[in-house]
């Protein structure tokens, strides 16, 4: 990522990085990763040295740990895992980016890093918004929710909307956006009673339930006696089966992810979905999407959602794990659903 | 179906009908049906007495034999099974419909019947077209193929198209339409080597394979080394899994039926589909459809396809079972894939 060093730093900076050293088989283990310290000594032209404050761990990263062709290249073994991060500029040879600027980069799981200017985005954070929001509700997860609900599922006034993984970074915004955009009923599933309480008591979901309490199909039928018109899928499997069973005619499904199967292996796979015939019977439209196809929608997304966040109409939460040494714990916790809202790693000492 | 008899027939007509007398559990058995003779003695106002030549047996009828809510009402026990039929008018009290007219009705599985004028469609059959085509290639199956391929899947020039159940009434037209409409490669699956030969030697499919010879996933990958852009699904299950695996990014699936699961019961169900995560990874658009939502497209369909049929550019075949007493055999054979092209029951003595 760094070019020829033509601008030595006043003194070297030591960065600690998380490298992928073995491709996980099923659920990721600590030994799949290694902590590596490296010394950064200087910058090339048009480069920026950043001290990360926070970086993001996201479900999609599990897919990148496999060596299969996908919409983003797999992580290379022995390399740092990139991903969205925010931090402060410590040194810069790039026009328009100055020491002290708050920036968003793709530097990922490390304390410090050097990025080309083209991979650095200066953040102007309005009053009432925390910088880390640009990794969550105003970041890629927020754009994912907005694009999926509005562009992919085509939310309409009066729709009943069901979102799985509703207490996650994406799902919690889907529900709130649906409410603000005219849905008549918003239903969410999550993995604990505390999350369920957060959804209904603070985020304005009409109904929420824990998928651990009862079969999802039964819970959803009780929550949506008149059926659902939109399903935003973060989970797949039993949640998708339930949504198919409760779908109204001509319902639209935006499929964002299927975290339930992310750790499947060739010899141990989640059960298949059995009621796909509902697709015909109910004339369903099911569309998968990936937010990176819709980055041109980011300006419109921020224009609509930033005031809602700043004004408190949209709420968000972060689950913050402290320290680069616990990044793998954060990621494993994410896959187990231990987060409420956006899962972040904070680097207070950098 | 018949109103007050105010117009006695010159002499009574005996009709033989197939009634559903028990809801099938799994694969339909002969004892689920009964042959019933009834005497028709007269017509009400604006009614038509028809002697059927042919009636249609269709996969969707299996669903109507179950007592569950669906897009068409279930068949009632002890009643005749309605469905598309063509025949000759024997008596009429309706303006514009005369004795001797060739008509298409919804009178279904019976030799004779009385229909209200609103349920009777006069057929003007052009040269080069057989009347029974209006139950197949120019009938509802044809419209299904046309709507699904063009409106639902949105066929584009250069697409590689895969259709399952390709030797059936719908599938055989899908492949030929795709070819005439600019697809670069047309692939079909069927259930015998004779059907496969028909698809490639007579209908112009680029590749066809029998799903009995090898796993569908492997056969499709060999047939479409560069992936598929459109999948027209008549089968579901292993065919759907194969199409998901071979789909290109942004492929479109038109889901017309999933015959593989039509005879599933609560205690014996087909295996589920396991690779639905491809929907996200490849940003697939999967839409179910039912042709009765698109009857307003019939005129445009006939305008385009009738000349192709009359001119021999589109070929069709019929598998004809003789006699009302064998209607149940015809239907069971259809569900076992014994037909090539449209499965019909012919009533030569009526």
Cα distance between residue A140 and residue B269, in whole Å: 40
Residue A338 CB burial class (10 angstroms; 0-12, 13-18, ≥19): middle
Give A23-43 pLDDT, tens digit per residue.
Answer: 999 999 999 999 999 999 999
From the candidates B64, B227, B281, which should be mutated to test the interface with A, based on the most A CB atoms within 10 A?
B281
User: A7-136+317-346 in CATH: which number?
Assistant: 3.90.180.10
Judged by CB atoms closer than 8 Å, whether chains meet at B272 and A277 is answered as no
Give B75-104 pLDDT, tens digit per residue.
Answer: 999 999 999 999 999 999 999 999 999 999
Domain limits, CATH 3.90.180.10, in chain B: 7-136+317-346
Per CB-CB distance under 8 Å, the chain B contacts of A283 are 71, 287-290, 293
- Nearest CB among B269, B279, B288 relative to A288 is that of B279
How many CB atoms sit inside 10 A of residue A73's CB? 10
Per CB-CB distance under 8 Å, the chain A contacts of B286 are 279, 284-287
- Rounded to the nearest 10 degrees, what angle do helices B237-246 and B216-223 cross at? 40
Domain limits, CATH 3.40.50.720, in chain A: 140-295+302-307
Cα distance between residue A26 and residue A263, in whole Å: 4
Q: In whole numbers, what is the pLDDT of chain A averaged over residues? A: 94
- Nearest CB among A269, A278, A280 relative to B256 is that of A280
Q: Measure A70 CA to nearest chain B CA, in Å.
A: 6
Decide if B85 contacts B114 (C-beta within 8 A). Answer: no
Task: Give the residue on B whose Cα is nearest the Cα of A60.
Answer: B281
From the candidates A280, A281, A294, which should be mutated to test the interface with B, based on the most B CB atoms within 10 A?
A280
Judged by CB atoms closer than 8 Å, whether chains meet at B283 and A281 is answered as no
Cα distance between residue B279 and residue B172, in whole Å: 26
Cα distance between residue B155 and residue B170, in whole Å: 16
H-run or E-run covering B18: strand B7-20
C-alpha distance from residue A192 to each of A166, A197, A337 (Å): 11, 9, 9
Judged by CB atoms closer than 8 Å, whether chains meet at B280 and A70 is answered as no
The phi and psi torsions of B102 (rounded to 5 degrees) equal -90, 125
Instruction: State which residues of chain B have pLDDT below 70.
Output: 1-5, 266-268, 349-350
- pLDDT the model gives residue B317: 94
Q: Measure B286 CA to nearest chain A CA, in Å.
A: 5
Instruction: Give the ranges where chain B is alpha helix by DSSP (H).
Output: 60-64, 140-146, 169-180, 193-197, 216-223, 237-246, 278-281, 298-310, 327-335
Banded pLDDT at A227 (limits 50, 70, 90) = very high
Judged by CB atoms closer than 8 Å, whether chains meet at A274 and B274 is answered as no
- pLDDT the model gives residue B57: 96
Task: Give the residue on B whose Cα is nearest the Cα of A289.
Answer: B283
Task: Give the residue on B whose Cα is nearest the Cα of A286.
Answer: B286
Give B192-235 pLDDT, tens digit per residue.
Answer: 999 999 999 999 999 999 999 999 999 999 999 999 999 999 99
Please report where in the chains the tokens 């699956």 appear, as a residue.
B189
3-state class (DSSP) for residue B239 = helix
Q: Is the dihedral of CA B54, B301, B203, B130 positive or negative?
A: positive
Residues of B with CB under 8 A from a CB of A: 63, 70-71, 236, 240, 249, 255-258, 261, 269-274, 276-290, 293
C-alpha distance from residue B158 to each of A23, A175, A300 (Å): 38, 40, 34
- pLDDT the model gives residue B271: 76
CATH fold of the domain at B140-295+302-308 = Rossmann fold (3.40.50)
Decide if B347 contacts B54 (C-beta within 8 A). Answer: yes
User: A140-295+302-307 in CATH: which number?
Assistant: 3.40.50.720
């Amino acid at each position: 990522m760094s070019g020829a060093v033509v601008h030595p730093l006043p003194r070297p900076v030591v960065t600690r990085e998380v490298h992928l050293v073995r491709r996980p088989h099923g659920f990721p283990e600590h030994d799949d990763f290694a902590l590596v310290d490296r010394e950064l000594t200087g910058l090339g032209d048009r480069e920026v040295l950043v001290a990360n404050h926070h970086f993001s761990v996201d479900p999609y990263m599990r897919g990148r740990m496999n060596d299969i062709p996908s919409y983003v290249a797999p992580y290379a073994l022995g390399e740092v895992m990139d991903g969205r991060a925010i931090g402060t500029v410590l040194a810069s040879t790039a026009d328009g980016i100055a020491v002290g600027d708050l920036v968003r980069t793709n530097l990922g799981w490390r304390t410090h890093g050097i990025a080309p200017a083209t991979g650095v985005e200066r953040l102007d954070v309005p009053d009432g918004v925390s910088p880390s929001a640009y990794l969550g509700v105003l970041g890629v997860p927020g754009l994912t929710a907005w694009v999926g609900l509005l562009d992919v599922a085509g939310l309409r006034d009066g729709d009943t909307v069901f979102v799985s993984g509703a207490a996650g970074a994406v799902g919690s915004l889907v529900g709130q956006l649906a409410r603000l955009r005219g849905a008549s009923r918003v239903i969410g599933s999550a993995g604990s009673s505390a999350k369920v309480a957060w959804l209904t008591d603070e985020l304005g979901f009409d109904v929420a339930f824990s998928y651990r309490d009862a079969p999802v199909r039964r819970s959803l039928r009780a929550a949506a006696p008149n059926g659902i018109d939109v399903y935003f899928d973060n989970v797949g499997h039993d949640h998708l089966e339930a949504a198919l069973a409760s779908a109204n005619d001509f319902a639209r499904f935006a499929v964002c992810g299927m975290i339930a199967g992310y750790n499947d292996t060739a010899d141990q796979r989640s059960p298949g979905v059995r009621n796909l015939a509902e697709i015909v019977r109910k004339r369903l439209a099911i569309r998968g999407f990936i937010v990176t196809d819709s980055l041109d929608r980011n300006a419109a997304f921020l224009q609509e959602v930033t005031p809602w966040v700043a004004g408190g109409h949209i709420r968000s939460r972060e689950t913050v794990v402290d320290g680069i040494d616990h990044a793998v714990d954060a990621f494993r916790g994410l896959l187990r659903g231990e987060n409420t809202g956006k899962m972040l790693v904070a680097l207070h000492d950098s």
